[in-house]
Homo-oligomer: A and B are copies of this chain.
């Protein structure tokens, strides 16, 4: 395998900087057209509520697609072009459908279809190139041998052949990632900022795997393929963060969330680290689980759960909801009690039966701990949480996984 490390050392930084600079420049040029087209919204986090153009993630996505394609001739020859093109087709469809969602405001039943439609190219190509559909089970589940006729479903070494179920897993992964970025959002710079950190986490993981030198040629090729997607991506998103950071000049829109989520999922799939990839989403998973009772309306859920903007102090504060204790079911009572005991839910008794509690998102929980802060500081703290999440992901991958696998 002709891995030319020097050319990689040169190529990737150049692509990163090109993505950043072109994307930042193009966003500045394009933002007026978005306002003219009615893609705009008021920034509720500032006293003067300025009008900000929306959906500018589109520009970064287009720059990324061009960069990802033009680098193809310079890629290592082991980058499997078919799988790479399938991945790009999936990412392009996701960005396309994201923009359609921004413009048409799709209903929920259509939103559910969108990720499935985008996933079709990648899954089809994965099927055609006979992609791996088996998983390694943890140590304590090994030693069994299950055969159905001639087909080995589970070998003694712990290799479980998932077959068609593996495609369901990949689809579920893409749907999760497409929504993950959207779940943890609401303040300037957060969607794009967390994406940059996760992307950098992916780059670190690929580089560690590439340079520890224990991989087969096939696995090396996977990590190169993964890097070729994630490096231009992080570059383009970095350009977007600089424009979306508080005070935001532009909003990123659903286009961004679809595009970014899909790119991260796809990168981990074609890099064959889809299980490790999910570890980098720990803050998003925590945020999702923490808020489940509200998502299922076990605890009352207001239409918006964003932190409140206090126009007097100019700071962000927890937003709250009210709940009648007697009307809560057993899960709701358990969740609130456990939250109070662990200090993860803020409550205030309004009368004998009614109490006020913070909306169950990571943003409000963070505000409970650090008190009212400026929007910029809140974003910084959340980005710092994401960095911790990535470090934790790498720790689990290299120290904990070894104990189980």
Contact = CB atoms under 8 A, between A and B. Distances in A.
Contacts of A92: 89, 92-93, 96
Interface of A: 30, 33-34, 36-39, 58, 62, 65-66, 69-70, 72-73, 81-82, 85-86, 88-89, 92-93, 95-97, 99-100, 103-106, 117, 120-121, 124-125, 127-128
B37 A120 contact: no
Contact of A34 (B62, B65, B66, B104): B104
A121 B69 contact: yes
A85 B95 contact: no
Given A36-B105, A89-B89, A73 B117 contact: no
Contacts of A73: 124, 127-128
Contacts of A62: 97, 100, 117
A33 B105 CA distance: 8
21 contacts: A33-B106, A37-B103, A37-B105, A62-B100, A65-B93, A66-B117, A69-B120, A69-B121, A73-B124, A73-B128, A81-B82, A81-B128, A85-B85, A85-B86, A85-B89, A85-B121, A92-B96, A96-B96, A96-B99, A99-B100, A103-B103
A358 B74 CA distance: 53
A393 B367 CA distance: 70
B70 A120 contact: yes
Closest 6 CB pairs of A and B: A85-B85, A96-B96, A33-B104, A37-B104, A69-B121, A69-B120
Nearest to A29: B110
Nearest to A63: B117
A99 B70 CA distance: 23
A82 to B, nearest CB: 5
Contact of A100 (B58, B105, B120): B58
A225 to B, nearest CB: 14
A19 to B, nearest CB: 15
Nearest to A37: B104
Contacts of A105: 33, 36-37
Contacts of A65: 93
A95 B89 CA distance: 13
A124 B70 contact: yes
A132 to B, nearest CB: 17
Nearest to A95: B96
B103 A89 contact: no
Given A38-B38, A72-B124, A85-B125, 17 more contacts: A33-B104, A33-B105, A36-B104, A37-B103, A37-B104, A37-B105, A39-B103, A62-B117, A66-B117, A70-B120, A72-B128, A73-B128, A81-B125, A88-B121, A89-B89, A99-B99, A99-B103
